[in-house]
């Protein structure tokens, strides 16, 4: 019978890769805690309308990327394509937003039916942050500083650049949009195919176009920064000053617009040149109108999402993964004979007390040579060997596996201290 395979664009993350994922996730979690963010977990499936109403009907995601299906009741459900909508829905539903400040984060799978390629998948993972109830540029600065700190801790800061822009108020954007459409409509024949389609549906996305002719056309088009409202201009200037003061470098990119409808004022992306065309590893901005758009009371909000696959790829590409990440076992226990095997089971339990050591116990017998081969492959720093002689004398043989040193007999009751020396070496 033909074997069933995974769905295209949906990846298994194999045991040799998970240590890197765990390392990355632990680093992010530690940074998030140090800024006082709390985790929120929401379902993977939501009512389709949630995404239609938040992301916007004429975005790529809603038009062609969502996994939408009818459940057995005939309700239209969608696998979440991003985390912000669910986070707002949950926070609003449980009364977390009214007259409160919230600093939240989430992590998990997202689903988009895109063309799979390096750094772009149909199931992918994001970690995101949403800060509610704060309208000033100080919180924008905080979320950006948080990401900068994370890159620094991961050794990535030299490989990413921060692109920054402001989208102003919705009124300013509407005036700009009008003039941009007038300008481009008079030059339709010079637009690429995608941009031509967006002219009616989502003209701001044209600023994002990768087409050289379209980009050239935009040089002489109306410039958004001439339309900016005073409040947004001041917000942006203060944000830039805060980042300058904190020593976070950025590039103002007036063509950065983001794919989703709900952004206003600040938008930003962290971009790398190391991953080819899928270079955006983290993206976000302010979305003051979204809570109200979803039926809540008007609530200022700012957030971002980072793509875990792309950041893991970046860590691997740069070789920025500490060697200790791949060492998942400290001690391998081998034994010869039935009595020793029974004793080995107990020894392993002893060493695992208080999670002191990561112990892999050899099970299933076999020759000494084959057990030592497995010990070596486990990545453990030392092998402990128990035979009938050792058991009779209350001793254990310790064999260092990663350094050139003699094996030694150690009394069982002093084993833990000796082990610590080898493992931390």
The answer to whether 277 and 229 have CB atoms below 8 angstroms apart is no
The answer to whether residue 114 forms part of the interface with ligand ATP (CB under 6 A) is: yes
Is the alpha carbon torsion for 416, 421, 422, 425 positive or negative?
positive
Using DSSP, state whether 58 is helix, strand or coil. coil
Residues annotated as binding site for L-histidine? 82-84, 112, 126, 130, 258, 262-263
The answer to whether residue 305 forms part of the interface with ligand ATP (CB under 6 A) is: yes
Half-sphere exposure of 253 (CA within 13 A, CB side): 18
The answer to whether residue 124 forms part of the interface with ligand ATP (CB under 6 A) is: yes
- Given the complex with ligand ATP, which of 10 and 392 has the nearer CB atom? 10
Helices (H), 56-136: 60, 84-93
- Given the complex with ligand ATP, which of 91 and 282 has the nearer CB atom? 282
| Residue of the chain from 53, 103, 107, 112 that contacts ligand ATP (CB under 6 A) | 112
- What the block records as the tokens of 25 is 């996730």
Residues annotated as binding site? 82-84, 112, 126, 130, 258, 262-263
Using DSSP, state whether 332 is helix, strand or coil. strand
The answer to whether residue 395 forms part of the interface with ligand ATP (CB under 6 A) is: no
The answer for residues whose C-beta is within 8 angstroms of residue 157's C-beta and 6 or more apart is 148, 151
- Binding segment (CB under 6 A) for ligand ATP, from list 151-159, 274-282, 352-360, 399-407: 274-282
- Given the complex with ligand ATP, which of 102 and 126 has the nearer CB atom? 126
Query: 61-80: which residues touch ligand ATP (CB under 6 A)?
Result: none
Residue 126 β-bridge partners: 108, 307
* Cα 198 from chain centre: 29
Count CB-CB contacts under 10 A for residue 211: 16
Could you tell me how many helices (H) and strands (E) the chain has, helices first?
A: 15, 16
Per-residue HEC secondary structure of 274-322 comes to CCCCCCEEEEEEECCCHHHHCCCCCCCEEEEEEEHHHHHHHHHHHCCCC
The answer for residues whose C-beta is within 8 angstroms of residue 344's C-beta and 6 or more apart is 333, 334, 335, 361, 362, 386
The answer to whether residue 259 forms part of the interface with ligand ATP (CB under 6 A) is: yes
The answer to whether residue 283 forms part of the interface with ligand ATP (CB under 6 A) is: yes
- Spatial strand order of the sheet with 45-47 comes to 45-47, 76-79, 67-70
| Residue of the chain from 203, 222, 296, 307 that contacts ligand ATP (CB under 6 A) | 307
- Binding segment (CB under 6 A) for ligand ATP, from list 38-46, 173-181, 306-314, 371-379: 306-314
CB of 278 to ligand ATP, least distance (A): 6
| Residue of the chain from 27, 50, 120, 161 that contacts ligand ATP (CB under 6 A) | 120
- Spatial strand order of the sheet with 251-252 comes to 38-39, 102-111, 123-132, 301-307, 280-286, 264-271, 161-166, 251-252
CB of 125 to ligand ATP, least distance (A): 8
- Binding segment (CB under 6 A) for ligand ATP, from list 120-128, 150-158, 193-201, 415-423: 120-128
CB of 259 to ligand ATP, least distance (A): 4
Query: 188-217: which residues touch ligand ATP (CB under 6 A)?
Result: none
CB of 114 to ligand ATP, least distance (A): 5
The answer to whether residue 280 forms part of the interface with ligand ATP (CB under 6 A) is: yes
The answer to whether residue 310 forms part of the interface with ligand ATP (CB under 6 A) is: yes
Size of the site for ligand ATP (CB under 6 A): 19
CB of 83 to ligand ATP, least distance (A): 9
> Which residue ranges make up the site for ligand ATP (CB under 6 A)?
82, 112, 114, 119-121, 124, 126, 259, 278, 280-283, 305-307, 309-310
């Amino acid at each position: 019978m033909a074997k069933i395979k995974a769905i295209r664009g949906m990846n298994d993350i194999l045991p040799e890769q998970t240590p890197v994922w765990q390392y990355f996730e632990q680093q992010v979690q530690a940074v998030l805690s140090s800024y006082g963010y709390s985790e929120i977990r929401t379902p993977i499936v939501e009512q389709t309308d949630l995404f239609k109403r938040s992301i916007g009907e004429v975005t790529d995601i809603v038009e062609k990327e969502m996994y939408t299906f009818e459940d057995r009741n005939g309700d239209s459900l969608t696998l979440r394509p991003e985390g912000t909508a669910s986070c707002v829905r949950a926070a609003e539903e449980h009364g977390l937003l009214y007259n409160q400040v919230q600093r939240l984060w989430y992590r998990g799978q997202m689903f988009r039916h895109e063309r799979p390629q390096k750094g772009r998948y149909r199931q992918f993972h994001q970690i995101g942050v949403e800060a509610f109830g704060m309208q000033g540029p100080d919180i924008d600065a905080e979320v950006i500083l948080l990401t900068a700190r994370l890159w620094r801790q991961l050794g990535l800061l030299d490989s990413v650049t921060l692109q920054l822009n402001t989208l102003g108020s919705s009124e300013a954007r509407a005036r700009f949009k009008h003039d941009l459409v007038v300008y481009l409509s008079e030059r339709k024949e010079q637009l690429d195919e995608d941009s031509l389609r967006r002219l009616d549906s989502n003209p701001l996305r044209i600023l994002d176009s990768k087409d050289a002719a379209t980009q050239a056309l935009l040089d002489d088009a109306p410039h958004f920064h001439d339309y900016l409202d005073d409040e947004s201009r001041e917000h942006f200037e203060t944000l830039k000053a805060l980042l300058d003061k904190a020593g976070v470098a950025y590039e103002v990119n007036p063509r950065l617009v983001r794919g989703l409808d709900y952004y206003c004022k600040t938008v930003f992306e962290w971009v790398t040149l190391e991953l080819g065309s899928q270079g955006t590893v983290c993206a976000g901005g302010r979305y003051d109108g979204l809570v109200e758009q979803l039926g809540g009371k008007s609530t200022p909000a700012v957030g971002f999402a980072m793509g875990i696959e792309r950041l893991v790829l970046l860590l691997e590409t740069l070789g920025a993964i500490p060697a200790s990440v791949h060492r998942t076992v400290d001690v391998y226990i081998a034994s010869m004979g039935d009595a020793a095997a029974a004793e080995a089971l107990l020894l392993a339990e002893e060493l695992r007390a208080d999670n002191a050591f990561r112990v892999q116990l050899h099970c299933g017998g076999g020759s000494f040579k084959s057990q030592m081969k497995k010990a070596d492959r486990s990545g453990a720093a030392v092998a402990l060997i128990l035979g009938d002689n050792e058991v009779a004398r209350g001793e254990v043989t310790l064999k260092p596996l990663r350094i050139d040193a003699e094996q030694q007999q150690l009394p069982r009751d002093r084993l833990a201290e000796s082990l610590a020396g080898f493992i931390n070496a």
